[in-house]
Each structure stands twice: as C-alpha cells, then as structure tokens.
Amino acid sequence: MAKIGISMACSRCKIIVCISLAVLAFSNVNSYAAKYSGEFLELGVSARSLGMGGAFVAIAEDATAPYYNPAGLYAVEQKSAIFMHTESFGNLINQDFIGGAMPLKGRDAGVGVALIRLGGGGIKLTEISNDPRFAGINPYDGNIYTVSRIGKHADYVAMASFGTRWRGATALGITGKLIYRKLADERAYGLGIDLGMKSVLMRNLRVAAVLKDASATFLSYSSGSTESIYPSLNLGGAYDFKKSDFRFLMAADAAIKFEHRQETASMSLGGASSDFFFGGEIAFRDRISGRIGSFRGDLTAGAGIRLSRFSIDFAYLSHDELDNSYRINLGGYF
C-alpha cells in the first residue's frame, strides 16, 4: 500500500509540473519584454526561511504560506502571525512583512493573509538646465541636466490565500495578489494569482510546486504604459527526521523562469533559467534552532527561539556585490 501511495503522489507531481511547464512555455513568446518586472517579489520573507537560504516551498505551513506556497495552509494547526522588518544593502531598501494564518474548523484547510512593503529613496530626478555651472553636458543628447529633487519608491503587495487537502496526502492552494507601485511620480496597479501544490511522499519527505503569477500578473502605470510579470515555476523538496531531542530538516528549491536571464541566473539554457536555494535547520526540542543555507549561491545563516506562544528569529544574508543584510522577525501563536 505504501508503494502505491508513493506512486500516486509521484504521478500527481509529474502532472502538476508538466502543466506548469506548458504554461511557462506558452508565455515565453513575449517574455523578454517583462524581464525583471517581478524582481521586487523575489527577496523572500521571514528570518527562518531566509536563514535556510529561502528554500521554503515545501516547508511553509504558517503565516509565510501565502508568499511561499498557499497549499501549505492545509496543515495549519493554530492561528499564527509573523512580523518582519529589515533594512538591506546599507539601508538602501527597507522591507516589511506581516502575515497571518488560521485553520478552518472541521476541514483539512486553512486561510492566510499577508502584506509586503518594499521601499526606499535616493532616486535622482533630473531636468534640463541652461545653467552651465551645474552638471556637465550629456554625451548622448548634448543637453545639460541637473538634479531637481530626490524621489522615493515603494511597492505594496497584499495577498489572500486558501489551501486545502485535495486527495490523500496531496494539497492544493491559491493566492490572490493585489499590487500597488509608486516610483517617484508614477503609480501602477496590478493583479495576479499563484497556484500551489504540496504532497507528502513518505512520512518525512515532502515535495511541492508553485506556479507564480499563473495569470501573467498585469501592471498598469499612470503614464499609460503596461508590463507583465510572466509565470515562473518554483519546485521544492524537504526531508526531516528526529533523533533524541533533536530535529533535522533539509530543503532544496529551484525557481525556473523564462526571461532570458543568462548572466544573472545560477543556470540557463536558451530563454530558460533557474536559480537554486538550499537550506538546513537543527532544532533542539523545537525550542532553539540553528540554520544555514545558500540563497542563489550566497551564504545565509540564522537562529531562532520559540517559547510557548511567541518566537523570535534572526537571519544573516551575505552578498558578493552589495552590503550584507540582516532579517529579524517576531511570531505569535494563538
């Protein structure tokens, strides 16, 4: 019976992945124009997940599930909330995340909501000046430009999610996203959805797939221009086991995109590219945890403490070209 269950779960995974790849391939026709348009959604949330390199697609079963994988909401056992604040790359970018999740009584299902804010300043807005005392002549058009003022940018993403057990050990989930962008004097609005799947192959082995921006999230700017965030496929696996008072958790994710990211991706082939995320966690009596990981090749590490109803987590993220960053979040369980 166990072999039959594993075979059925594997078959479901293959079906989900094949459908997702078909959608991605179909969207590849004009995807180059949308390159990096969804990058503001790629920084990750929660210090626990980022301490593990962001490899969380098959793990998220709490208030981070609306972001990582809504299918994980089916396993939520109690109400939970997470708040995270971070100042990254020398205060160049500020990120805030608040999320909540709760189970639905009498059902193997749960709901979640989340809000992400990503913002910063330092945008130099220029204008043409006839005063030669200021900036030099632009070599491209011969005009003299001066900085008139410094602008700011901010991205807001509101999420509402639902996850439920589908068949046996397989769960499905959906996240609806509402996006608002402010870039100096420009405004933009967008809508999108993520589709998630999660399955337990064996007692301690979980696999998952998430089709991000499944509807090709559409952004409309106040200037009249538009752009789309094309679908991407996130695949993940996680394995955990206990030994005495210790619990060991290992995870790996792959994010597959079709945006011609040859130089900036971990691996690329034609218009397709993939980034990889790896992580591990050791927990003592599920109270004190240590973590290490790799976020697109950059080292991450973290630690956490959980009391009866509260938790605090910390993460360190290295970066080769920008300043290292730190994440801290508080969690509550009710």
Name which residue leads in pLDDT, 115 or 35: 115
Q: Taking the C-alpha atoms of 91, 296, 232 and 208 in order, what is their torsion angle to the nearest 10 degrees?
A: -110
11 against 56, higher pLDDT: 56
**pLDDT category of residue 273 using cuts at 50, 70 and 90:** confident
Tell me how far apart the alpha carbons of residues 261 and 118 are, in angstroms, rounded to a whole number. 23
pLDDT over threshold 90, residue 161: yes
User: For residues 126 and 96, which has the higher predicted lDDT (pLDDT)?
Assistant: 96
Q: pLDDT tier at 324 (50, 70, 90 boundaries)? A: confident
Q: pLDDT of 15-70, one tens digit each?
A: 555 555 555 554 444 443 456 677 788 889 999 999 999 999 999 999 999 999 99
Amino acid at 286: D
pLDDT at 255 over 90: yes
Q: For the chain, how many residues are written?
A: 334
Amino acid 152: pLDDT: 80
CA dihedral 254, 15, 166, 116 (to 10 degrees): 30
The residue written with tokens 């991706």 in the block is 265
What is the arithmetic mean of pLDDT over 207-216? Answer: 93
Specify the pLDDT at position 287: 95
* Nearest to 66, CA basis, from 50, 46, 52, 51: 46
Residue 21's pLDDT is what?
55
198 token code pair: 């999660």
116 sits in the region (left: phi over 0; alpha: psi -120 to 50; else beta) called beta
Q: Determine what percent of the chain is predicted with pLDDT higher than 70.
A: 78
What CA–CA distance (Å, rounded) separates 48 from 43?
Answer: 13
Nearest to 93 by CA among 154, 151, 44: 154
pLDDT tens figures, 165-189: 998 889 999 999 999 998 878 899 9
141 or 96, which is more confident: 96
Q: Which residue has better confidence, 15 or 322?
A: 322
Full 3-state SS string of the chain:
CHHHHHHHHHHHHHHHHHHHHHHHHHHHHHHHHHCCCCHHHCCCCCHHHHHCCCCCCCCCCCCCHHHHCHHHHHHCCCCEEEEEEEEECCCCEEEEEEEEEEECCCCCEEEEEEEEEEEEEEEEEEEECCCCCCCCECCCCCCEEEEEEEEEEEEEEEEEEEEEEEECCEEEEEEEEEEEEEECCEEEEEEEEEEEEEEEEECCEEEEEEEECCCCEEEEECCCCEEEECCEEEEEEEEEEEECCEEEEEEEEEEEECCCCCCCCCEEECCEEEEEEEEEEEEECCCEEEEEEEECCEEEEEEEEECCCEEEEEEEECCCCCCCEEEEEEEEEC
pLDDT tens, 297-311? 999 999 999 988 999
> So what's the pLDDT on residue 32?
38
pLDDT band at 4 (very low <50, low <70, confident <90, very high): very low
Dihedral sign computed on CA atoms, order 258, 264, 270, 273: negative
pLDDT, residue 22, reads 53
* 28 Cβ contact list (under 8 Å, min separation 6): 230, 258, 271
Residues 78-99 have a mean pLDDT of 85
**Mean pLDDT of the residues in the chain:** 84
Give the model's confidence band at 226: pLDDT under 50 very low, under 70 low, under 90 confident, else very high.
confident
Q: What is the mean pLDDT of residues 256-280?
A: 79
| pLDDT at position 137 over 60 | no
pLDDT at residue 85, rounded to an integer: 87
| Whole-number pLDDT of residue 90 | 59
Q: What is the mean pLDDT of residues 231-241?
A: 95
What confidence category does residue 12 fall into, taking pLDDT thresholds of 50, 70 and 90?
low
Domain residue spans of the chain: 2-333
User: How many Å apart are CA 124 and CA 135, to the nearest integer?
Assistant: 13
- Would you state the pLDDT for residue 203? 81
Mean pLDDT check: name the lowest of 52-56, 194-198, 316-320.
Answer: 316-320
Query: What is the distance between the alpha carbons of residues 215 and 100, in angstroms, rounded to a whole number?
Result: 24
For residues 177 and 298, give the distance between their C-alpha atoms in angstroms, rounded to a whole number: 28
Fold of the 2-333 domain: Porin (2.40.160)
Averaged pLDDT for residues 63-84: 96
- Residue 1's pLDDT is 40
CA distance 44 to 31: 23
